Amino acid sequence: MSRSPGSVPTPEHAAIVGVPAKSHGFVGRGGAAERVSFAACGETNDTQLATTRQEAFSGRTAKEKWREHMRENPYKRLPPIERRQDGSLYRMTPAQRKQANPLIRRECCNYEDGNCMLLDDGDAHTCPQAISFSVCCKWFRWSVLPQAGTLEAEIFRGKDLKCCEVCGGVFVPKSNRAKYCPGCAARVHRRQKTESERKRRSCVDS
């Protein structure tokens, strides 16, 4: 069987000269190449589906990933909880604890249905801070309680307190340079950042 130079070989010609049809990319409808193509697609889809299923069943849940992240990273970097001169923890009054518990339920990322995700080792563990009058949880002390500056100042009354320059509320400063309570500090810093960006853009435009 003859063919013109430069033409694409047909399946019949490939069979005569002993060249596999799929190596030349035949696209004839219903031919061997089409069947091979469909088979390859089927194998690819099956592989992708198997991989997706394996990832779904062998992968960790979002709660497990979050728990591992919390154990390995930010919690360990938090400073220790302050203690009184006699070594005891600071304690809340019943009224203060009544204010603290709704704050824990609303703001603590480790609190779930009364349990502490950080302490979850396969069994549920009640949040110790929610049932204690002592300030015994570092996450509550440094990440949750500062959101209620007045309550924090009342609990740590023996420590040096400052008045916020914006709202006038009392708060426990984290450093001698602190001027604002945590809530006002976030707003002031956002405003300062916006003003800085505006000045930078004006300098670039000019």
Tens of pLDDT, residues 61-75: 776 766 666 566 677
| Mean pLDDT, residues 140-162 | 83
Is residue 27 within 8 A of residue 34, CB to CB? The reply is: yes
What integer best gives the mean pLDDT of the chain?
74
Greater pLDDT, 121 or 17: 121
Q: Which residues contact 183 (CB under 8 A, 6 or more apart)?
A: 147, 149, 167
Tens of pLDDT, residues 158-193: 666 777 888 877 777 777 788 888 888 888 999 988
Is 0.75 surpassed by the pTM of this model? no
Best-predicted range by mean pLDDT among 25-29, 47-51, 115-119? 115-119
Measure the CA–CA gap between 6 and 3, rounded to whole angstroms: 9
What percent of the chain shows pLDDT beyond 70? Answer: 64
* Beta bridge mates, 163: 170
* Beta bridge mates, 162: 171
Is residue 147 within 8 A of residue 182, CB to CB? The reply is: yes
Distance, C-alpha 30 to centroid of its chain:
51
* Residue 104's pLDDT band (cuts 50, 70, 90): very high
Intra-chain end-to-end CA distance of the chain, in Å: 77
> Beta-carbon neighbour count of residue 194 at 10 Å?
10
Greater pLDDT, 149 or 65: 149
